[in-house]
Amino acid sequence: MSAATHWLHWRLERESNGLAWLVLDRAGSSVNALSADVMAELSQVLDHLDAAAPAGLIIRSAKPGGFVVGADIDEFAHLATPDDARALVERGWNLFARLARVRYPTLALIHGQCLGGGLELALACRYRLVADDPATALALPEVMLGIFPGWGGMLRLPALIGAPAALDMMLTGRRIDARRAVTLGLADARVPQRLLLQAARQTVLSGRKPRRAGGVAGLTNRWPLRGIIAARARKTIAAKDPQGHYPAPAAIVDIWERHHGNALLAAPLLARIIQSPTARNLLRVFRLQERLKANARGEAGIQHVHVIGAGVMGADIAAWCAYKGLRVTLQDVSMERIAPAIQRAGALFSRRLKDRRAARAAFDRLIPDPRGDGIPGADLVIEAISEQVQAKQALYRQVEPRLKTGALLATNTSSLSLATLREGLADPLRLVGVHFFNPVAKMPLVEVIGAAGNEAAQARACAFVGQLGKLPLPVRDAPGFLVNAVLAPYMLEAMRCVDEGLLPETIDAAMTKFGMPMGPLELADTVGLDIVLAAGKPLSAQAEPPNCLAERVARGDLGRKTGRGFYRWQEDKPQRGTPGQAAPGLSQRLIDPLIDRTQALVDNGVVADAELADAGVIFGTGFAPFTGGPLHYRQSQTGDSSRPIASPQHEEINTPGDYPT
């Protein structure tokens, strides 16, 4: 290598054969994001290379965590005018178009996360190699922020892999791994880490023609298939979002179909989308997610987890831990009780891990343990048995003497007081709550319940939750914690409406129209009406339950699990009738108790502040993300700015599509 040329964020190195390496190492940041100054320096680098063209250029990252996580999200918050929005899009569009036109071959060498603007940068290169590593992930997740890939992704991705696959990536924001990237044609090859540099040299100097979608995939970008695919995409968007709460997906289809992916040709639409309330609120949700992720900082020191209870929740917690690389021992009273849990885990591994060897390795990490032999070696023991205080306390008396020094004891209780459960423990401060939501594989939030004096144990449990790729929410010990506490009054108010004569279909339709992923009565059926009745009393000051709930429980109609509740259920789907006409203000009537309870929990210190409360309700209940959260929604409706909401840092959003149970 010759002497390197340095900028603040970029470093250019040349080999004697004329090959150049351009290394991105954004100053003052643990990840690479394409801020205005990073992009300005890239323009300077291209000027430098225009004066002395290399034989080939390889762009790579110096950050161990990945290639580029996208644009600098903070800059979106400062777009005050339509001209600002256009200037931001124009900057990236023009720069990456310039990169795509250079006369020397270019290659993006991708490891870890390659997201948003980072993938658009890679798409502007002639070749792309991806590291054969589970951490490699490529995506255009802009739609999750209420915006679109404006720096060339809507042009180059369909041309590379065909319109159907490209639209699927852009409209869902879904990540793809290294294997899938090669299968789609997005990457030229996946290469083991140890061979990446050598493979990059060979590929960029190979003289091969760049990939493009061929055959039918290539024709999907031309008429008449272009119009057919666009119409189909619009139909899918309308089915998922009939009220149009999220305008970005339709904008992506319009810009691809009518402007060949060039957002600059749709200037009014560009400004309207980027500056829309939905985009601003989804940006807020993105930041809230980062705030939750920040709770996971630190080392958990957990490699072996022992789970007691092989029911649905215990089984799925154990399977997820094994999927995430931990050694797991799973205990129940017999192998017959554990066997279904192992089958569920096998289905998860097969679905999530396409590589048979990886699926087999995960399966090998999950060890049936009916005698509890794993307890003495476990770093964390999670109890997930029935919600009975005496049963849990009796189990703790057996388990605690067998725990090794420093091991944590955790309960997955959804409602019981940890103060009560701690009674009788020799070291009561080692017990924490780790409340997962069902389905474990889908729900991103985990409530971590602590108490005065066990802050270190709570912090360690939060780090463990982060280890699992989940979002930890620290909460104080209180009935229902946060999520169940806010859902109870919401569901009970819906049931009072049934008592007043409204159809369940009318009530649920009002709330899905509002933007909830599921209506409150379908949610109650999914949770189980017996559980709603049991949990509702302590969470509603022991008030009498709605008649419609008490009557259904009395006759054994408990919802989905019995085939009948507020709906008849067939093949795990509710059979709905036609909704009636909703009275004006119905959705507000239903949502007000949820918001009131959320505010009360903040005021009482159950959750630290309004921002974390909004985060917990969004990621734990599916509360409509486009609103920015329940407390933010009320503030925006009333104009009350007396409770300011801060804005922490960024990375990626994954809005929930399911409620917890």
Give the global pTM: 0.89
User: pLDDT tens digits for 42-65?
Assistant: 999 999 999 999 999 999 999 998
pLDDT above 90 as % of the chain: 79
Beta sheet of 431-435, edge-to-edge order: 366-368, 327-331, 304-308, 380-383, 408-411, 431-435, 445-450, 471-476
Domain boundaries, the chain: 10-275, 299-469, 483-638
User: pLDDT tens digits for 395-453?
Assistant: 999 999 999 999 999 999 988 899 999 999 999 999 999 999 988 999 999 999 988 88
**What pLDDT is attached to residue 653?**
35
Does pLDDT of 316 surpass 70? yes
Secondary structure of 412-423 in HEC code, one letter for each residue: CCCCCCHHHHCC
Length of the chain: 661
Q: What is the mean pLDDT of the chain?
A: 91
Fold of 483-638: N-(1-d-carboxylethyl)-l-norvaline Dehydrogenase; domain 2 (1.10.1040)
Residue pointed to by tokens 């066997």:
339
Residue pointed to by tokens 């071959």:
105
pLDDT above 70 as % of the chain: 96
Active site residue 142: yes
Given the residues 120, 383, 400, 505, the one annotated as active site: 120
Among 511-525, 602-616, 641-655, the least confident range: 641-655
Among 54-58, 157-161, 275-279, 380-384, the least confident range: 275-279
Tell me the sheet residues that pair with 112.
66
On the 0-12 / 13-18 / 19+ scale of CB atoms within 10 A, 544 is exposed
pLDDT range class, residue 572, cuts 50, 70, 90 = confident
Q: How far apart are CA 409 and CA 384, in angstroms?
A: 11
Q: What are phi and psi of 388, to 5 degrees?
A: -130, 125
User: CATH topology of 10-275 equal to that of 299-469?
Assistant: no
User: pLDDT tens digits for 179-236?
Assistant: 999 999 999 999 999 999 999 999 999 999 998 888 888 888 888 999 999 999 999 9
**What pLDDT is attached to residue 366?**
97
Active site residue 257: no
Q: How far apart are CA 511 and CA 622, in angstroms?
A: 12
Does pLDDT of 644 surpass 50? no
Given the residues 142, 505, 522, 611, the one annotated as active site: 142
**What is the dihedral sign for C-alpha 142, 97, 82, 611?**
positive
Q: Which two tokens stand for residue 223?
A: 């008429």
**What pLDDT is attached to residue 1?**
65
Strand boundaries in 197-353, DSSP class E: 304-308, 327-331
Q: What's the CATH code, domain 10-275?
A: 3.90.226.10
**What pLDDT is attached to residue 658?**
37
**CB-CB contact of 57 with 28 (8 Å):** no
Mean local confidence (pLDDT), 379-383: 97
What are the Cα distances from residue 228, in Å, to 57, 166, 261? 39, 15, 17
Strands 10-14, 19-24: pairing kind: antiparallel
Fold of 299-469: Rossmann fold (3.40.50)
Q: Which two tokens stand for residue 316?
A: 């799925």
Radius of gyration of the chain measured on its C-alpha atoms: 26
